[in-house]
Amino acid sequence: MPTVIQIVFGLISALIIGAAMMVVLARNVIHAALWLIACFFGVGALYLLLEAEFLAVVQVLIYVGAISILILFAIMLTRELEGARQLARGWRLWLGGAICALLFAGVLVPTLAGHPWNVPPPLGPAGTPEVVIGAADLGRGFVFQYLLQFQVAGVLLTVALIGAIVIAYEERGRRRRVLTLAEEHELRKRQEPATAEPPAGD
């Protein structure tokens, strides 16, 4: 049983790290967003492995369902016509990579490896199975212990959504008309003869 769990953990870790690398390095932004969805799924699977079932469902609902769709919409609405290089060039790329590699290998891993974590043994004192809280305890916590924080989070979400609408709103007079695909083809067909001679026999 431990071996199976270790294999599953290894696969999930490989998925998370590989997908995250693809998010960072992919040339196409849409491909990066799709890899981001895979990475979110991997993180959700890791939550499931860590026995945080409710959090895994929340991860799939909010990250996979909402945030990635929002990102895809933003990519769609801000489509750049020229194919720009996605990564920075030259010393900025190397400096960023050096900072991150140094942070990982020089600070984080030595700290994690050197810290005494004092993980308690999984079994209780009388040999009873371990107490792991579930969704019911979380819900009780939200309406008793963390009621104020819960309400503040609700207010924050409301304010953020209203703010997002206000920021992205465009007044009617300044709105540019978005061409449909047929109109775009028509425009391109009309522009083409002016710029280049159409191939013969077309």
Binding residues for other proteins, rule CB under 8 A, total 90
> How many Cβ atoms from other residues are within 10 Å of residue 45's Cβ?
19
Q: What's the token pair of residue 73? A: 């919409």
Nearer to other proteins, 119 or 196 (CB): 119
Q: How far is the CB of 13 from other proteins (least distance, A)?
A: 5
Query: Among residues 77 and 200, whose Cβ is nearest to other proteins?
Result: 77
* Nearest residue to 73 (alpha-carbon basis) of 190, 189, 168: 168
Query: What is the phi-psi region of residue 175: left when phi exceeds 0, alpha when psi lies from -120 to 50, beta otherwise?
Result: beta
**What CA–CA distance (Å, rounded) separates 23 from 43?**
14
Task: Tell which one of 31, 97, 151, 191 touches other proteins (CB under 8 A).
Answer: 97
Residues within window 24-53 making contact with other proteins, judged by CB under 8 A: 24, 29, 32-33, 36, 39-40, 43, 46-47, 49-52
The answer to whether residue 126 forms part of the interface with other proteins (CB under 8 A) is: no
Among 83, 91, 116, 117, binds other proteins (CB under 8 A): 117
In the bound state with other proteins, the residue whose beta carbon lies nearer, of 133 and 187, is 133
Measured from the CB atom, the residue of 127 and 193 that comes closer to other proteins is: 127
- Helices 29-49, 68-77: axis angle to 10 degrees equals 170
How many CB atoms are closer than 10 A to CB 108? 11
